[in-house]
Amino acid sequence: MPSMKLKHVYLLSTALLAVVGSTASAQMTLNGAGATFPAPLYQRWFAEYNKTHPDVQVNYQAVGSGSGIKQVIQGVVNFGASDAAMTDEEIAKVANGVVMLPMTAGSIVLAYNLPGVAELKLSRDVYAGIFLGTITNWNDAAIKKDNPTANLPDLAITVAYRSDGSGTNFVFTKHLAAISADFKTKVGEGKSVSWPAGVGGKGNDGVTSLIKQTPGTIGYVEYGYAKQNSLSMASLQNKSGNFVAPGAKSGAATLASVEFPENLRIWPSDPAGAEDYPIATFTWLLLYGKYDDAKTAATLKDIVKYGVTDGQKFADELGYIPLPDKVVKLVEAKLEKVQP
């Protein structure tokens, strides 16, 4: 009898292992890495997608656009993400090609920590000067000019910037270079630059933490991070001369007139509309043009379709700008270029 019991236990254990093994093999894990800017929205999408597709797990590492692009080039992820898209030179290094898909959009805001100053207006010359390190105190006459009733303190300005290679850096410096010849000459634009002054934080969350910790600090972060952390945000002067507060309406106004090229890579660096918020951008998923595994390609395409359709309903609550319908159609058409 003991031997029969042991035999039954062995057979049952073997059957259970077979079931577990079968379940494990049915699971698909996709790995992605890149921009911190869209990370809260992407992670929400992947969690919601998993609810209806429990066999699909998506691991997304928000390590910055620069690192995400490197991992795509190295072929160590299933997809990447970048607010800077990819350059033609970077794409040329990827044997299977790259399909760039704008998935959502958002505004980059100047968030600040000034107790007692609930509203702040910053002209183009002023915020360029702050990040050039030429305007260094909150009671500077140039700041007072546009904020005559604000209780601006005699306090040094601490600039918080991104220390990692990032698409947020790219978009923000591209804008500053467009509005300031001095910034273009002295600092330039790119995913990484040498800032004249300030302290660095890694990711949007790192810069957010720096702003929250120290009175007198101003930094650039994605609108959603500022909104979720209840940071004060400055109204910025746009190309038309109007001071515009960040938000869904002003961000959508910026994106409304964008005309995409064939590769879907474009940035509205200095929009001209009267109601346009001056710093808004799309952010891209980076898929390979060809995948060796047909199931991986099909699953990624299905996730992208979910993101640009049903997934857009989460955009506004998380601080992003829902994609215009014409952009959704462009993404869906471009997605067909992804081949197994």
What is the DSSP secondary structure assignment for residue 314, as one 8-state letter? Answer: G
Which residues 6+ apart lie within 8 Å of 72 measured at CB? 34, 79, 80, 86, 94, 98, 286, 288
pLDDT number for residue 8: 45
pLDDT at 320: 93
* Cβ within 8 Å of residue 6, ≥6 positions away: none
Residue 26: the pLDDT is: 56
User: What DSSP character marks residue 323?
Assistant: P
Distance CA 266, CA 254 (A): 13
Which pTM value belongs to this model? 0.81
Cα–Cα distance, 236 to 62 (Å, whole number): 28
Which residue type, as a one-letter code, is found at position 160? A
90: tokens are 């970077």
What domains can be seen in the chain, in order of their start residue?
28-106+282-335 (3.40.190.10), 107-256+266-280 (3.40.190.10)
Q: How do 98-112 and 79-82 pair as beta strands? A: unpaired
Query: Can you point out the beta strands (E) in the chain?
Result: 28-34, 56-62, 79-82, 98-112, 121-122, 158-162, 199-201, 217-222, 232-233, 235-237, 243-244, 280-288
Q: What is the distance between the alpha carbons of residues 328 and 294, in angstroms, rounded to a whole number?
A: 24
CB 214 within 8 A of CB 158: yes
| pLDDT tens for the 340 residues of the chain, in order | 444 444 443 343 444 344 444 344 459 999 999 999 899 999 999 999 999 999 999 999 999 999 999 999 999 999 999 998 999 999 999 999 999 999 999 999 999 999 999 999 999 999 999 999 999 999 999 999 999 999 999 999 999 999 998 889 999 999 999 999 999 999 999 999 999 999 999 999 999 999 999 999 999 999 988 999 999 999 999 999 999 999 988 988 888 878 899 999 999 999 999 999 999 999 999 999 999 999 999 999 999 999 999 999 999 999 999 998 989 999 999 999 999 8
Cβ burial, residue 321 (10 Å; 0-12/13-18/19+): buried
With contact defined as beta carbons under 8 Å apart, do 126 and 103 qualify? no
Helix axes 167-179, 124-132, angle to 10 degrees: 120
Are 183 and 128 a contacting pair, CB within 8 Å?
yes
Give one DSSP letter per residue of 204-222, joined into a string: HHHHHHHHHHSTTEEEEEE
Q: What angle do CA 279, 264, 225 make, to 5 degrees?
A: 35
Q: Residues for the chain: how many in total?
A: 340
